[in-house]
Structure 1
Amino acid sequence: MVDIEATGSSSRRHRIVELAVVLLDRERRPHGEFSTLVDPGSPVGPTHIHGIEQHHLIRAPRFAQIAPRLLGLLRGRVLVGHNVGCDRAFLAAEYARVGVELPQVPELCTMRLAQEHLPSSPYGLSLRACAAAAGLPSWAAHTALGDARASGQLLARCSPEDDGRLAEAQAVRWPRLPRTPGDDAVWIGRSGRAGDRAPGDTSASQAAEGNDPASRMVAIVRNGGA
C-alpha cells in the first residue's frame, strides 16, 4: 500500500510532502510499515487538508535521500492505493527529478475495487466514504500512514483473488540507485521519530490509533528488501 500527501494536486508542479508504505503479505495482512515527512523544498501547500506545517519539516529528508530505499520497498510488489494513479504520478515525477524512470508495474486501485464490491455510498468514492461503506473504523484522514492503513483494510475487504499480478510484478526489472551517505537519512514520521514499525510491536500498535508511528526499525526495509 502506498499513500502520499502533497503540496498541491499537480504531480508536475507540486511535490510530495509525506509518504507512507504498508507492506502486505499474500493474505493481505500487514507485515511492515513506515512513513516519513518529506521536505519539498517549497511551501507545504494546503495545511488545512494534510495538517503539515513548515516547521514540521525541520528534520525531514528530501525525496532524493529516500529514493533508493523506497525503490527497495516497491520492487517486486503490486502498487496499491486509493486512486492509485495519482500516487503513481507523484512518485514518477519525483523519481524523474532524480534521473530515474519509474517502471510500469501492476496496480490495484481500492477506489475502483470499492465501487465494484461495496454498496454504493451517497458520499462518493473518497477513501473515507468507501471505508464507511465497508464498515471500517475511523482514523485521522489525510495522514499518509493512516490512509495507507485504511486502504490496506479496504483491500482486504474487496480484494479479488490473485490474478497473476504479483507474479507479473516480481518479473519487472527495476532500476537501482547507488546509495550515498546522505541517502541514509532517517525517515521521520509525524511523531518526529523514525517512521518504521516492526510487525508484532505492541507499542507501535497502540500508537497506531493516533497515527503515531513507533521508532522500531524493520530490518528487511533497512537492507533494501521488500
Structure 2
Amino acid sequence: MRLIAIDTETTGASPARGDRCVEIGAVELIDGRLTGRTFQTYLNPDHPVAWQAQRVHGLTNRFLADKPRFAEIAPDLLDFIGDATCLAHNARFDRDMLLYDFRHAGLPVPTLRFFDTIPFAQARVRTPSYRLDQLALTLGVLKKGRGLHGALEDAEILGRVVEAIETRQPGALAAWMRGSAPLSPLPKGWQAPPAPPTRLAAARPEPSERAAPPGPTAPQAASEEAREADRIAALVRAALDGAPDLALFAERLTSAGVLMRPVINGELALHGVRFSTPRASFTGGAIGLTGPALERAGPAYRHPEHAGLVARLVAAHDAVMGPVTALKGRFTATPASPIPPQTDEARRRVHALITEAIPGATTVFDLAARLEKVGIRAETRIDTKRMRVSSVLFISEGARVPGSAVGLGPKDRTPDFWSLATPEPVRMAPDGSLIAPIELCPKPVTPTRIGEGLNPGVAELIADLNRGACEIGPETVLRIRSGRDAWSGFPEAALRELLAGAHPLEELDALFTPLTGQDRGSALRWVCRGLDPQLTLAFHQTRQLVYEARNAERAQDATPEP
C-alpha cells in the first residue's frame, strides 16, 4: 500500500479569503514504512504572509519573492502523489490549501484521497495532546521540542510517527483505513461541476430558487440558436445553485464549455455577465441575472480578490466571441462575424461620415450614436482598470475603419471624451438588463508631509516608540505593523524628495547603509510615517536578527543527531 504523508506551510489560515501555500513537503510510505523519496518546494504565493503564520514557519515575503508559483510545480506534485492516498495531520486544512491553490492557479482541481491521521493516532496512542509535536515526543520520534516548522520536516515527522505506530502494531494503519472514511474530495461549499444536460432536459429548465425570475432568453422561433441559449441557461442556473463565489461559479461553467465575461462597473463591482458558446450568446439579464441579482443569488464578488480571474475569463471569452461592443446596449458582446469584403469606395464613404461627425461629438458615446443613424456601427475595447475606452473600430457594409485611421485615439481627444463616466440616467437595455451611469472611483489621497496617511493606531504606536514607551527588542519587532497605507505604494525617489525638507539625505543614506536595498526603501517609509531614523534602523536590524536566529534554530533542529 503506497501512501503520501503531506504538509503545507501557508500565508494564513483562510484559503477562501486568499491565503496560499508558501511551502509544500511530502514523503512516500510503502506498507507503513518510509522509502526515502521526498518532495519539497517553496512557493511565491502572490499574497502577503501574515505575521502569525511567519511566527510558525519563519518564511518572509522577501525570501519567497523569487520562488516558483504554484502552477509551475503542480505537475511535479501530482506526479509525486500519483494514485496514492494522502495522509495529513489535520488533513482538512492541508487538503483545502492545496485544492484552493489549484483553483486559484486556473488549473483543473484534482481528486485527491485524504485521510486525517489525528483520529488514527487517537485510536492507537495515549498522549496528553494529539498535536504532531507532542505525538512525536510521546513515540520517541522527537527528543525535544521544535522552534520554526517546515513542510517537509512536518511530513517526515508524520511519516516517522506512522512508522513508529506500525512497528508497535503491525497492520494498524491499513485496518484503521478500512474501517474509516476518507475526507470528502472537495472543500466545504464546493460542488462538482454539473454534467452538460441533454437537449431534452435543457429545453425549458425550472429556475433555481436562489436565482431571479427568468426573462426572455432568445427568439421563440425553433432555431438552433434558441435551443443553444436554453441549454446555456440551464447550465448557468445549475452552476449558480450553491456556488459560494465567482470562482466556483466560473469553474462549473467553463468545465461545461460555457464562456463567461464578467464586467466591472465604475465602483469596481460586478456589473453583469455575458454567457456564450460559439452558437449562442446572451447577457445574464436575459435570465434575470444582473450583477446585483448574482450577488443575491450567492456568488460573492470583490474586485481585488477576483481581478486575475476576471481578466482570464474576459480574455478567453473575447478570443472566441470577438470584442466587447460597449456603445450600443452598453457592455454587451456579439459573436465575431465574418469580415465583409471591403472596397475603397466604402472606406472613403465611412471616413467622410466619421470626419463630419467628430467635431460636434462630446464623448465617444455621442459619436457612436451619431454614426449609428447613418448606418455605421462602433465597436470599442474597454480598459476596465482606468474605466475608459482604449480603442474604437467603425464598421459598415463593406468597410472597417479603425479610429486611428481618422486621427481618433485616446491621445487625440481630451480624457473626458474617452471616459466611461456619463450623465446618462439608468435605462433598460434591449436584453432586459439595466444600464446604469458609471461613476469613477476617487483617487487615493496622496500624503504631502511626514505623518499623514496612516492607518488607525499607527500614529499612536510611532509616538510611543519615539518617546521610549515601547522598546524595540526581539519580543516587539514582529508585532510592529503599519498595514498597507498611503506610503506603501510610494517609490523611493518620491520618498527621498519628501524627506529632503526634514532630514539631510546624506545623513539618512549613511545611517541606512547596513540595510539591504528593499529594507532601505522600507526604512524611508517608516521615517515618512514619523518614526525617528535611529529607531527605524534599530527596528530593521533587530527584526533581521530575529529572522536569522529562527532560521538557524530551524536548521539545527533539522540536523539528525549522530
TM-score, structure 2 length as denominator?
A: 0.28
2:54 to 38, 47, 50: 47
1:162 to 174, 184, 193: 174
Question: Structure 1 residue 165: deviation in Å?
Answer: 6.3
Higher relative contact order (CA 8 A, sep 6+): 1
Q: Is the 8 A contact 1:22 1:33 kept in 2?
A: yes
Alignment root-mean-square deviation, CA: 2.6
**Counterparts in 2 of 1:47-196, with a 5 A limit?**
47-97=54-104, 98-105=106-113, 107-121=114-128, 124-137=129-142, 138=144, 139=146, 141-159=148-166, 160-163=172-175
Which 5+ residue runs of structure 2 have no aligned equivalent? 167-171, 183-554
Distance 1:49 1:120 in 2: 23
Question: Structure 1 residue 26: deviation in Å?
Answer: 2.4
For residues 50-85 of structure 1, the C-alpha deviation after alignment (integer angstroms, 9 at most, x for no partner) is 111122113311001111111111121110111112
TM-score, structure 1 length as denominator?
A: 0.67
1:62–1:140 Cα change, 3 Å: same
Question: Structure 1 residue 210: deviation in Å?
Answer: 4.7
Count of residue pairs the alignment pairs up: 170
Distance 1:40 1:117 in 2: 37
Distance 2:123 2:177 in 1: 18
1:149–1:140 Cα change, 3 Å: farther
2:13 to 3, 9, 13: 9
Cross-structure match for 2:427: none
Is the partner of 2:27 in helix, strand or coil? strand
Question: Structure 1 residue 93: deviation in Å?
Answer: 0.8
Cross-structure match for 1:219: none
Distance 1:161 1:9 in 2: 28
Distance 1:131 1:111 in 2: 12
Q: Is the 8 A contact 2:55 2:148 kept in 1?
A: no
Q: Is the 8 A contact 2:91 2:115 kept in 1?
A: yes
1:163–1:209 Cα change, 3 Å: farther
Q: Is the 8 A contact 2:27 2:39 kept in 1?
A: yes
Query: Which stretch of structure 1 is more off in the superposition, 61-70 or 18-27?
Result: 18-27
Distance 2:41 2:132 in 1: 21
Is the partner of 2:137 in helix, strand or coil? helix
For residues 114-164 of structure 1, the C-alpha deviation after alignment (integer angstroms, 9 at most, x for no partner) is 21111131xx32111111222222455521111111100111123525359
Q: Is the 8 A contact 1:50 1:142 kept in 2?
A: yes
Is the partner of 1:29 in helix, strand or coil? strand
Larger radius of gyration between Structure 1 and Structure 2:
2
The residue type paired with residue 110 of structure 2 is L
Question: Structure 1 residue 27: deviation in Å?
Answer: 4.0
1:93–1:109 Cα change, 3 Å: same
Which 5+ residue runs of structure 1 have no aligned equivalent? 170-207, 213-226
| In the alignment, structure 1 residue 23 sits paired with structure 2 residue 37 | no
1:161–1:43 Cα change, 3 Å: closer
For residues 98-121 of structure 1, the C-alpha deviation after alignment (integer angstroms, 9 at most, x for no partner) is 23122142x332222221111131
Q: Is the 8 A contact 2:9 2:21 kept in 1?
A: yes
1:164–1:110 Cα change, 3 Å: closer
Paired-residue identity, %: 28
Q: Is the 8 A contact 1:5 1:16 kept in 2?
A: yes
For residues 175-224 of structure 1, the C-alpha deviation after alignment (integer angstroms, 9 at most, x for no partner) is xxxxxxxxxxxxxxxxxxxxxxxxxxxxxxxxx86548xxxxxxxxxxxx
